[in-house]
Amino acid sequence: MTEYLCFFNKDAFVIKGPKKSPLLLRLVVVAFAMVCGIYICSICIKQISPHTTAKFLNIRIFDQPCNSSNVEEWEKPYVHYPKPETFSREECACNPVRFFAIFSMQRSGSGWFETLLNSHVNVSSNGEIFGKRERRASVSAITQTLDRVYNLDWFSSASKNECNAAVGFKWMLNQGVMEHHEGIAEYFKQKGVHAIFLFRRNLLRRMISVLANSYDKRNKPLNGTHKSHVHSSIEKLKEVQDFLRLPYRELTSRQVKIHSGHLSKQVQNWDEIHKVLKGTQYESFLHLDYQR
Ligand SMILES: *[C@@H]1O[C@H](CO)[C@@H](O)[C@H](O)[C@H]1NC(C)=O
Ligand SMILES: *[C@@H]1O[C@H](CO)[C@@H](O)[C@H](O)[C@H]1NC(C)=O
Ligand SMILES: *[C@@H]1O[C@H](CO)[C@@H](O)[C@H](O)[C@H]1NC(C)=O
As a whole number, mean pLDDT of residues 95-104 equals 93
Mean pLDDT for 231-257 is 76
Asked if 265 and 220 sit in the same domain, the reply is no
Evaluate: CB of 225 within 6 angstroms of ligand 3: no
| pTM tops 0.75 | no
pLDDT above 70 as % of the chain:
71
CATH code of the domain covering residue 252: 3.40.50
96 Cα–ligand 1 center, Å? 15
Ligand 1 neighbour 64 (Cβ under 6 A):
no
* Domain identity same for 236 and 178: yes
CA–centroid distance, residue 91 to ligand 2 (Å): 10
Structural domain range at position 282: 261-292
- Among candidates 191, 72, 169, 60, which has minimal Cα distance to 124? 169
Distance 188 CA to ligand 1 centre (A): 29
Q: From the alpha carbon of 70, which atom of ligand 1 is closest?
A: 5
Q: Is the CB of 224 under 6 A from ligand 2?
A: no
Tell me if 120 is assigned to some domain. yes
Residues 141 and 224 in one domain: yes
Residue nearest to atom 6 of ligand 2 (CA): 163
Question: pLDDT tens across 191-242, in order?
Answer: 999 999 887 766 777 777 777 666 655 554 444 444 444 444 667 778 888 8
Print the SS3 string covering 98-140.
Answer: EEEEEEECCCCCHHHHHHHHHCCCCEEECCCHHHCHHHHCCHH
Q: What percent of the chain has pLDDT over 90?
A: 27
Structure confidence at residue 49 as a pLDDT band (50, 70, 90): low
Do 166 and 272 fall within a single domain?
A: no
- What is the per-residue pLDDT across 128-137, written as a single tens digit (0 to 9) for each? 999 999 999 9
For the CA of 220, the closest atom of ligand 3 is: 13
Please give the tally of structural domains in the chain. Answer: 3
Domain co-membership, 210 together with 141: yes
69 ligand 1 Cβ < 6 A: yes
Cα 258 to middle of ligand 3, angstroms: 19
Contacts of 1 (CB under 8 A, 6+ apart): none
Same domain, 42 and 85: no
CB distance 65 to ligand 3 below 6 Å? no
The CA–CA distances, whole Å, from 21 to 8, 10, 18, 34, 182 equal: 11, 15, 6, 19, 88
Regarding whether 96 and 17 lie in a shared domain, the answer is no
Residue 230 covered by a domain: yes
Shortest-distance atom of ligand 2 to CA 96 = 14
- Least-confidence region, from 11-15, 79-83, 180-184, 273-277: 11-15
| pLDDT for residue 234 | 65
* Ligand 3: nearest atom to the Cα of 221: 13
